Amino acid sequence: MTTERLAARVRAVLFDLDGTLIDSAPDLAGACNEMRVERGLAPLPYADLRRMVGSGARGMVGVAFGVVPGQAGYEALRDEFLARYEARMTRETRIFDAMVPVLAWLRDEGIPWGIVTNKATRFAAPLVAWLGLADQAATLVCGDTVAHAKPHPAPLLEAAMRLKLVPGDCAYVGDDRRDVDAGRAAAMRTVVATWGYLGAGDAPEAWGADHLIARPDELPELIGVLPIAAAVDSRQRSPSRSPLD
């Protein structure tokens, strides 16, 4: 790899956690279906639950029970869901297999990487440690680390500050529209991981990301030529917050 190419690429990579770096859907879906079975309801198909993981507890409770914030019973269902998830969150969750060599490549190339997630520290920190990622990640910014969660750019700006980089030196990889919105607002290069959960809204092609990739092994080549951002977009939005990403 030439010096010119190294100079042209971004200086750090930030990842969303759920659906991008790790596959946590089996445990999140399992918590939902445990609740349904206990109430005499049939388990929902895994595919129906998987796509809602990016919407956090709000999305999972919504698809499992048809109850949304502000409606009677929502808070009790949410709290039970979070407790059940916390009790089983390491049962089936794994790093995506194809992400392992990508993280090794970043290490070998001397490119720091970090995690920026809307998942609350209560869940994210022990999960990241259990998966063996805590000693590898240069930073972990959770949904309750700063005053705002994605799609607000504040968590990404915090991560860049911790890495002692300007935001434009970083690329952010995620699987939700909020990831793209946050990355763009922070003036970072944005990459959509289409192997992730993606949600139930617009297709990823409509999110305005700089790049879409279908497999983790596409990232090293992309990062090798991804230029540092030159402009700063100062637009910021105040999102609703969820304890899960």
Q: What is the pLDDT of residue 244?
A: 55
Place of tokens 């300007």: 166
Calculate the alpha carbon distances from 190 to 15, 105, 181, 219, 242 in Å. Answer: 10, 19, 9, 12, 22
- Residue-wise pLDDT tens digits, 182-226: 999 999 999 999 999 998 788 999 999 999 999 999 999 998 878
Q: What's at 43, amino acid-wise?
A: P
Catalytic residue among 18, 176, 179, 245: 18
Q: Are residues 18 and 59 in the same domain?
A: no
CATH number for 10: 3.40.50.1000
30 domain-assigned: yes
For 2-101, list the strands marked E by DSSP.
Answer: 12-15, 22-23, 94-95
Question: Could you tell me the residue range of the domain that residue 36 belongs to?
Answer: 25-88
Whole-angstrom distance, CA of residue 24 vs CA of residue 21: 9
Look up 16 and say whether it is catalytic.
Answer: yes
- Residue-wise pLDDT tens digits, 46-69: 999 998 998 889 999 999 999 999
In a 10 Å sphere around its CB, with 0-12 CB exposed, 13-18 middle and 19+ buried, how is residue 7 labelled?
exposed
Q: Are residues 155 and 66 in the same domain?
A: no
**Domain boundary residue among 88, 116, 133?**
88
Q: Are residues 193 and 134 in the same domain?
A: yes
Q: What is the pTM of this model?
A: 0.90
Residue 91 pLDDT grade (very low, low, confident, very high; cuts 50, 70, 90): very high
In a 10 Å sphere around its CB, with 0-12 CB exposed, 13-18 middle and 19+ buried, how is residue 5 labelled?
exposed
Q: What is the pLDDT of residue 2?
A: 37
233 domain-assigned: no
Catalytic residue among 16, 23, 27, 176: 16
Tokens of 199: 């949600």
99 domain-assigned: yes
- Residue-wise pLDDT tens digits, 26-44: 999 999 999 999 999 999 9
Q: Are residues 108 and 48 in the same domain?
A: no
Q: Are residues 35 and 130 in the same domain?
A: no
Whole-angstrom distance, CA of residue 241 vs CA of residue 69: 12
